[in-house]
């Protein structure tokens, strides 16, 4: 009987096994009964053991543990008072760093010349296109390179001093105006805000002190380093939430801002204005 005839005579469930692992001669095999399930049936959860049910019931119905007494929350101190205290502590005598000692060793004429050279470098950086939208670290690297080219050497301000200088410059504050006692108070109040918001606050403060119209959303966004007008509106809302300013609208829809405690108020200005007025724009003479 050949192999094909044997295959034709196989019944359902019968197979032919052949190979060195089984036998050298063909053997007939029969598959026993199997239990299969269709694939489209949903899985079912098996019931939990009785012991697990008892334990779960005991855990659920157990009385909650007694709450530990929470310590009373202490009211947070006023942030502005902390800053004033820090400012007073900063006035105490401390070891002078090398740049400060070098600055004190200069004469009045040399110190004035040094400030003029720094202001000239800062004006050149801010005059570049899209300088208002570049990161502070990138601007500082360019500032350091320009200071080395000018031969200032170790007299280059650090990053914190550069951040303060560029904040005043974007607000249109000159060196003499920035050292005024009233502006020291403005700088102190601005330090409550994040670093990238302080220039916007000081720009509004300068407009309020001079009685200029309130800057529009485009000018505020540009001073913040953004193109978004909605972000400029959120900046004003955030400053108002911090208790620094109060924003109001007159009958014509123009906005004016009042600085809290300082009682400085801007003149009404159009929020949709494209840019600052000419008298408010930072110029070479104002830096």
At residue 207, the 3 state secondary structure works out as helix
Residue 55 lies in a domain: no
Residue 213 lies in a domain: yes
Residue pair 280/286 in contact (Cβ under 8 Å)? The answer is no
At residue 23, the 3 state secondary structure works out as strand
Residue 9 lies in a domain: no
Residue 29 lies in a domain: no
At residue 277, the 3 state secondary structure works out as coil
Residue 128 lies in a domain: yes
Tell me what pLDDT residue 69 has.
59
Residue 241 makes CB contacts below 8 A (sequence gap 6+) with none
Tell me what pLDDT residue 32 has.
75
- Can you give the pLDDT of all 287 residues of the chain as single tens digits? 555 566 677 777 777 777 777 777 777 777 777 777 666 766 677 776 665 556 666 777 777 777 665 555 554 556 556 666 666 665 555 444 445 555 556 677 877 888 888 888 888 887 887 777 777 788 888 888 888 888 876 668 888 888 878 777 766 666 555 566 777 888 888 888 988 888 889 889 989 988 999 999 988 988 888 888 999 999 999 999 999 999 999 988 999 999 998 889 999 999 998 765 545 555 433 43
Residue 92 lies in a domain: no
Domain holding 176, by residue range, is 100-265
Residue 18 lies in a domain: no
Tell me what pLDDT residue 286 has.
40
Domain count, the chain: 1
Residue 220 lies in a domain: yes
Tell me what pLDDT residue 95 has.
44
């Amino acid at each position: 009987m050949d192999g094909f005839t044997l295959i034709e005579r196989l019944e359902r469930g019968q197979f032919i096994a052949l190979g060195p692992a089984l036998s050298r001669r063909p053997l007939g095999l029969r598959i026993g009964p199997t239990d299969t399930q269709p694939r489209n049936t949903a899985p079912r959860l098996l019931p939990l053991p009785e012991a697990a049910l008892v334990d779960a019931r005991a855990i659920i119905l157990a009385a909650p543990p007694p709450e530990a007494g929470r310590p009373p929350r202490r009211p947070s101190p006023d942030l502005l008072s902390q800053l004033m205290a820090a400012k007073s502590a900063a006035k105490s005598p401390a070891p002078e760093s090398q740049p400060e000692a070098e600055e004190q060793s200069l004469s009045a004429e040399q110190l004035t010349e040094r400030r003029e050279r720094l202001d000239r470098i800062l004006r050149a950086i801010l005059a570049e296109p899209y300088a208002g939208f570049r990161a502070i670290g990138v601007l500082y690297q360019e500032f350091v390179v320009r200071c080395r080219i000018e031969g200032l050497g170790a007299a280059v301000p650090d990053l914190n001093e550069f951040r303060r200088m560029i904040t005043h410059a974007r607000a249109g504050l000159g060196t003499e105006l920035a050292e005024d006692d009233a502006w020291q108070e403005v700088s102190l109040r601005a330090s409550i805000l994040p670093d990238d918001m302080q220039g916007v606050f000081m720009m509004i403060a300068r407009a309020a002190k001079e009685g200029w119209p309130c800057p529009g959303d485009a000018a505020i966004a540009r001073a913040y380093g953004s193109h978004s007008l909605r972000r400029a509106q959120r900046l004003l809302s955030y400053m108002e939430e911090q208790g620094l300013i109060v924003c109001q609208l007159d009958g014509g829809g123009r906005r004016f801002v009042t600085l809290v405690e300082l009682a400085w108020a801007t003149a009404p200005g159009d929020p949709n204005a494209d840019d600052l007025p000419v008298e408010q724009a930072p110029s070479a003479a104002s830096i």
